[in-house]
Structure 1
Amino acid sequence: MPSSPTAAARLAYMIGHPIAHTAMPAGVNAWAHDSGTDAIMAPVDVAPEALAGFIAALRGTANCDGAVVTAPHKVAMAALVDDLTPAARLVGAANVVIRGADGRLTGDNTDGAGFVAALREAGADPAGQRALLFGCGGAGASIAAALVAADVARLELVDPDTAKAEALARALGPAVQPVCVPDSVAAHDLVINATAIGLDGHSSVHPLTGLRPEATAGDVVTKPPVTPFLRQAEAMGARIQPGSAMALAQIPLVLRLFGWTE
């Protein structure tokens, strides 16, 4: 098999706006090279107003098996596909689009599964833990659902759109509660930034006042590799999980969805 893509390669896109910070294309393309698989993932910066047109073109791209979707398109994508998996329907967002041979598109969501898989690989199983999650958008909602499925003891949601946090809490059950930004995170075992705050390399969603050394701080932002939020947690002695860990843990899931592995 070829170690670099040929004109017969299977294609998947990684779409977002911006896109340069994403970690998955490099990981997928390294896998394709190392395994000799004739496939490639191409990152594409798609502005919101161009998203519908891009997806319409994807339907007719016969050598394309789908796309991975990052901010700010995950919620909008759920309305552009033909079908949603239960995971995507629950959170109202799709971060993976699978293209069928007939051009029909199915939206799925693997953000939460990837985040929890990365936690477990790092020895921070969320079962029985008390978690605080900042951000109830596409990634945040998916992570929240996965934490509940992983038997988190309590999950508190913070979002400037309080109605969004309240609706997500109602959908996920009594273990989930919307809260105001707490002064201290001392009561939490797991603190997660599921917003874009930190992408500028300077801002942080919370000063992490009271964070305990035995706690874990996780981020979905992949660039800078260690955000200000995570630098602060690391300085306080806590375990950290960078955004790249969530992205890389999703690669096996995405490869199966595209039909590139069994």
Structure 2
Amino acid sequence: MGRVTVRRPVLKLSHQGERSRPDALAAEEPLELRIDGKAVAVTMRTPGNDVELAHGFLLTEAVIGDREDISAARYCAGTGPDGRNTYNVLEVSLSPGVAPPDVGVERNFYTTSSCGVCGKAALDAVKLRTRYSPADDDCAVSTDVLTTLPDKLRAAQKVFDSTGGLHGAGLFTTDGELLVAREDVGRHNAVDKVIGWAVQSGLIPLRGLVLMVSGRASFELVQKAAMAGIPVLAAVSAPSSLAAELAEEQGMTLIGFLRGDSMNVYTGADRVLR
């Protein structure tokens, strides 16, 4: 397996002078995802939980609907210059009857036809592909619980402690219980790993749960949460305008700037108990 952290020498400069010392950096390596022998995506990720990443990515891109749609996932014998496996190529075999995506190598399967071209096209793409709409989920979560989530997620980010360079995503119950947390150099990958864990655990759709992310709430993260049926997405930073529009379209609760005892509720305020 690839390394989660990499040690490198650095020159530290401060008012006390300068000194050389080793520093831990978050590892970043490419992962090529193949479906039945065809390359469909390449993403830069932190090695680890790659099978979860594949399951989450394929669910949020509407290729699969649950764990039964994948019959096998294994590393290919892709080798480096020294003949060793790089663990950077993952082969997924779809179950009989599951249609493979007809795409090229893209991070998001519909990026070429929607994202970056027209906001409405992006919203329509998600609406047409969502199997588990969160709109009818009547769960509720209190502000008292919500304000505890950033610290709980931060406490679960073990690699962040040594590198300071990873995004985090965590799945919580409305009582504030952490079910799973994952880290990655890419915020979308961290969310894919969390959702992939849920796919493998047979928990999809993720009714009555809260997805907490350490950074901002982008359109892509709202899209992934909606595809998994997650009713509440909370972030420590701001959402984008299209993220808020999509959350409203999907009937999701979107919370931003969740810090200390305050937060901004952009959509779905009826699920937040005050």
Q: TM-score, normalised by structure 1?
A: 0.28
Question: Which structure shows the higher helix fraction?
Answer: 1
Q: TM-score, normalised by structure 2?
A: 0.27
Q: Which has the higher contact order (CA 8 A, sep 6+)?
A: 2
Question: Which structure shows the higher strand fraction?
Answer: 2
Q: Max radius of gyration: which structure?
A: 2
